[in-house]
Amino acid sequence: MSSTQLSSEEIAEDYRSSLEDLAFNSRYEISNLTVIAKENIHAAQAIARTIEEHIAKVSAPDSFSFLVYLYVPCIITFTLTFTHRISRLLVGNHMYL
């Protein structure tokens, strides 16, 4: 890891902060979060955990639906990490989709 590269936990904290700002279905914000995830593939588990925690605390169907728009491109980026961790949460907690 280079001296300028952030740790996985620092990246996850920055990602969490950006995710908290996602209050509506903003294509720009979702694309930006997807790019951040792709650029930080080394932090896949930390980012996956961050999204998992955020999905777990979202209760409104309207808020949850645009998180799925973020989730899908990230599945492609972090296939195994997201498939095993977050899909359980999606099926278990949000059957109204």
Identify residue 81 by its one-letter amino acid code.
T
Q: How many CB atoms lie within 10 A of CB 19?
A: 20
pTM over 0.75: no
Domain of residue 84, residue span:
8-93
pLDDT (mean) for 35-55: 86
14, part of any domain: yes
Residue 1 has pLDDT above 50, yes or no: no
Residue 12 has pLDDT above 50, yes or no: yes
58, part of any domain: yes
26, part of any domain: yes
28, part of any domain: yes
66, part of any domain: yes
89, part of any domain: yes
Number of domains in the chain: 1
CATH of the domain at 51: 1.25.40.90
Quote the distance between the C-alpha of residue 67 and its chain's center.
8
* HSE-up of residue 33 (Cα within 13 Å, Cβ side): 31
2, part of any domain: no
Confidence of residue 80 (pLDDT cuts 50, 70, 90): low
pLDDT tens-digit profile of 81-96? Answer: 556 666 666 666 555 5
